[in-house]
Amino acid sequence: MNGHRFYLDHNATAPLRPEARAAMIAALDVGGNPSSVHFEGRRARALVETAREQVAALINAKPLEIVFTSGATEANAWVASGGWDTILSSGIEHDSVRGPVAATTARQVALPVATDGVVAVEEIANFALRDASAAGRTLVMLQMANNETGIVQPVAEVAHFCRAHGLAIHTDAVQAAGRLPIDFTNLGVDTLSLSAHKIGGPTGVGVLVIRDGTKLATLLAGGGQERRRRAGTENVIGIAGFGAAAAAARDLADVPRITALRDRLEAGIAQLTPQAMVIGRTGVRLPNTTALAVPGLAAETLVIKLDLAGVAVSAGAACSSGKVGVSHTLAAMNLPADVARSAIRLSLGWNSSPADVTAFLEIWATVARPRALCAAA
């Protein structure tokens, strides 16, 4: 491929948008501590506050509801560790939710997931009507869209219900941002997490959006930054990049183009490999994500072959030393083992082009021949 690379892994990290790069380069020369009262400090503060407004605008939140963090992992963990008596969540949540939930002393209620990848929302209703009075302070954690499959959850519906029954609700909107319209003010959730690097900003910066009036214990006490909720001198450069990426992603202008590319990709794969299946195809999905499974082909081998041919994708399954591990998301959906073991994720974004799709299909035609690869054991 003449050394040319084709990047189809935006759900892992999207390439840095030019707007974010420019904002970060400009911020490098600003200097100053945003908490200082002098001119240099005020200049740094202005960058942080502009970015706060830009991120708030992306999701229709108030700027004062935005708390900058080191990423969505920190934001999710902050909410999970909020001293809940009971937490309801499902097996398709990202590890940054699953890990902190498992580490709490809260009573944990596992929500089942149907094979279409949607959480059984009636279980939340059953819980609220049956057990909520004895459950104490209760939190529901429900992602907006899944990072592996792109399957979208009915967060607004669940949030409405939670509010009516006094349950708190957090949504991890990391993969939905810039791909679906998000209206925090009207969504009804208490808290929401975002990550800059999934929308073309830098890694290592995210936000927890906390509904005005919601009580959540301070994450870090110290210098009192972020309205005394999360201390530490702000990552001014990263925050400036996040703000610029949020502004660029806000109008979702790219979504029809990306959807068309994704549809062309899936049609091409179906033609070349009729036995291929797209997980979650018939449900509500993100416009940029294809979770592709070809039973009989081992995902890990496919990822390596594609990488050697110039294409970056990722695997839902990890196979090493002949041992195949199935992703927790696909396991929670109860997909047949041969489907789960062969699942790879193709994800597009702001700089994806028709050339990426064409190249992928050309390379796919050569690597995706059943039995040409190490079969999933």
| Residue 314 binds ligand PLP (CB under 6 A) | no
| Binding mask of the shown chain, residues 182 to 221, with x at each position contacting ligand PLP by CB under 6 A | -------------x----------x---------------
> Closest residue to ligand PLP, Cβ-based?
71
One-letter amino acid identity for 45? R
Alpha helices per DSSP H over the chain: 18-28, 39-58, 72-80, 95-103, 121-130, 132-135, 155-165, 184-187, 225-228, 236-249, 255-272, 299-308, 328-332, 337-341, 354-367
Which candidate in 24, 51, 319, 326 is catalytic?
A: 319
In this structure, what token pair is assigned to residue 292?
A: 């592709």
Query: Binding segment for ligand PLP among 66-74, 109-117, 272-280, 322-330 (CB under 6 A)?
Result: 66-74
| C-alpha–C-alpha distance, residues 362 and 294, integer Å | 17
Q: Which of 54, 147, 289, 327 binds ligand PLP (CB under 6 A)?
A: 147
Q: Report, in angstroms and rounded to the nearest whole number, the Rg of the chain calculated over CA atoms.
A: 21
Indicate the DSSP class of residue 112. Answer: P
Indicate the DSSP class of residue 283. Answer: S
Nearest to ligand PLP of 9, 65 (CB atom): 9
Query: Binding segment for ligand PLP among 71-79, 237-245, 296-304, 333-341 (CB under 6 A)?
Result: 71-79
Q: Minimum CB separation from ligand PLP for residue 229, in Å?
A: 18
| Residue 153 binds ligand PLP (CB under 6 A) | no
Instruction: Indicate if 319 belongs to the active site.
Output: yes
Q: Which of 149, 175, 289, 314 binds ligand PLP (CB under 6 A)?
A: 175
Indicate the DSSP class of residue 119. Answer: B
Q: Coil, strand, or helix at residue 375?
A: coil
Point out which residues bind ligand PLP (CB under 6 A): 71-73, 94, 96, 143, 147, 172, 174-175, 195, 206
User: Which residues are part of the catalytic machinery?
Assistant: 319
